[in-house]
A and B are shown apart, each in its own frame.
Chain A
């Protein structure tokens, strides 16, 4: 199927056609298969990565060293054929090391002028490895880039290439000498995904099929245009009113000052999720639906992405830590408490 066919405009207010959905599924399938070749036994993680990508969101991967976080991002860049830069965050890293800086150059006519030299941020896919090791000043350099998709240096704004993704990794251990990401920075990550170890069978497959742990060589699965088409199709996935109502109630319920919030939220949560979380939840739910070859979002799509979207946006109280509550556990409990439809069925009816 040609690219023009996939990007044909969908009438406003109507669903994607079956053809559009199947084309999107085919393209997503290619990407998904490629990732599956590089990273073994992490199907759900790969799905989440694809969903975040389709939603044009930034992603924070957290996990122990050696689980393939960096390899995943590198594989993704190869499969997408996008410009890829890797920044290894260290405590002495400066914002200019990321954004770039103006350098005084001789223009040839005896004149000298400041010429802006782009930093590694000017790429489609930026891997911010061990992001929590950089100082807050350097971390803050990413704020504008992630939200506005531009970089401002010495008063001059420079647009970042499209698409632009920040895929960051951080290590939950070795916390000495690290700077935890501030809430404002965390909120800019659409997904925060916890990366866990793989099963013994997967490990066996890894050590038998890959010498020295080298991944197979991958080829580009999607062109930039195809990726852009996928973004458009994702935007056109229908979000029913009832589902958007569910998303709104879900995000609102994370706030402890709401009377409608569940008891454990009011007790353990200090700050709830921002409206940006609701936007991210809607966008990633659309992507999840498209990943499942659906023209519309369902409640289960919201539930699928809720933990990755909300868990890093909920700030828990100290009492929650004492009681053994973690953000993912709170989100799971929230999903059980908040009903899909805002009103209970009358007791005299059995649904």
Chain B
């Protein structure tokens, strides 16, 4: 029958519409899942990112599955014919002819092809677009999410940081022992603390441990600083004495002070007990002999001959500077080279901290805070032993610059409470009211407040 072709077409369109309904739901779910997977992979395992795109091919089996699912309860031919019959207003004749074909009655059906074609359902996939649109946009948006950058040593365990710090401390401790900077009691105490940290190195690193490590490091740095300062002062004293020639330009007291500083430095050298090694090796035999004598007598005796004395002092200065330089290097090593030139004295960053990106101000972690940031006052000096540069303060002035004698009285002058009140806001004088308050001398920054207070009632 001629209408069979159109009923088939109608049925196919209905089936496709049914497929679109299921496909929209399935594809929407697939796109949401795919987008989520892409997002997770990009944020957690970026290395898998290119491979995830292959999952997009799963859209094909999803579409096939949607087709199969929609066909489980597909439109029947009878239903499609019923719809077509209604559309053509055939009054049930088309339905009847599809069940009981009759050529005679078939002629009563519309004969124009256009009538049949206009009766076919039109595709209007608004629902499909609505259902798939948002998941698709989500999927595209997930595609634009940048890959997460993995920190270089993110996976470094906390325990290794602790271990590295303690090992670092231990190495510094050994060097300090070699230099004999620490006193015996102090050395034992630090060694005990380090030993305890080493025992607990496999346990989680707590803020108490961090503070212990910092305290130990700071203590050792302080000792190095003291020794460095002593050496520097001694070298400076030696230089001053050397430049003074026959010492005529210097007073007795100055010579005494310089000699004490020099002897103090040399005493530290002698206390090391190894004048024959390293630093002591740079001194002449005569100087070594003098140092031994000084150790024996407890004071330094400089040669009377200016030339000889100058030569000795130069030699001492050079040795002390070398020792000072060695201590500076040791200090830098203690600071792990993070603060050259002593610009960040309070910084005790070690290897572990560096790995943990904690060497930046404000990034010391929740347990360390801003204490790691540089403290710059703006007037620091590079001179040894002096923190700040000398600054000339502005000249002072009196309230009454004229300083004129107003009058001479026979009795003590009457003091105006308001005039004699201190200039700070926290007055210690009696409270005053009215004009007395107004007349009281207030600093300009407080006057506005007082005026506003009294005018507030208007």
Q: Which residues of A contact B (CB under 8 A)?
A: 13-15, 17-18, 238, 240-243, 289, 292, 294-301, 340-343, 345-351
Contacts and interface: CB of A to CB of B under 8 A. Distances in A.
Contacts of A14: 100, 102
Given A349-B122, A349-B124, A340 B105 contact: no
Contacts of A343: 75, 79
A343 B78 CA distance: 11
Given A298-B93, A346-B17, A348-B20, 8 more contacts: A13-B100, A18-B104, A240-B92, A301-B92, A340-B82, A343-B75, A345-B83, A346-B18
Contacts of A240: 78, 82, 92, 95-96, 99
26 contacts: A15-B105, A18-B104, A240-B78, A241-B78, A241-B95, A242-B78, A243-B92, A243-B95, A289-B92, A294-B91, A295-B93, A296-B92, A297-B92, A298-B85, A300-B91, A340-B86, A343-B75, A346-B17, A347-B17, A347-B126, A348-B17, A348-B125, A349-B17, A349-B122, A349-B123, A350-B124
Interface in B91-150: 91-93, 95-97, 99-100, 102, 104-105, 121-128
B124 A242 contact: no
Q: Which of B17, B81, B105, B122 has the most CB of A within 10 A?
A: B105
A349 B13 contact: yes
Main secondary structure of the interface of B (DSSP, over half): helix
Interface size range of chain B in the complex: 35 or more
7 smallest beta-carbon distances between A and B, as pairs? A298-B92, A346-B17, A296-B96, A240-B95, A242-B82, A298-B91, A349-B17
Q: Determine chain A's interface SS by DSSP, over half rule.
A: loop
B289 to A, nearest CB: 109
Contacts of B223: none
Contacts of A297: 92
B440 interface: no
Interface of B: 13-14, 17-18, 20-21, 24, 75, 78-79, 81-83, 85-87, 90-93, 95-97, 99-100, 102, 104-105, 121-128
Contacts, number: 104
B126 to A, nearest CB: 7
Contact of A348 (B79, B95, B128): B128
Given A296-B95, A297-B92, A351 B104 contact: no
Task: Report which residue of A17, A289, A294 has the largest number of chain B beta carbons within 10 angstroms of its beta carbon.
Answer: A294
Nearest to B92: A298
A299 B92 contact: yes
A341 B82 contact: yes
B86 to A, nearest CB: 6
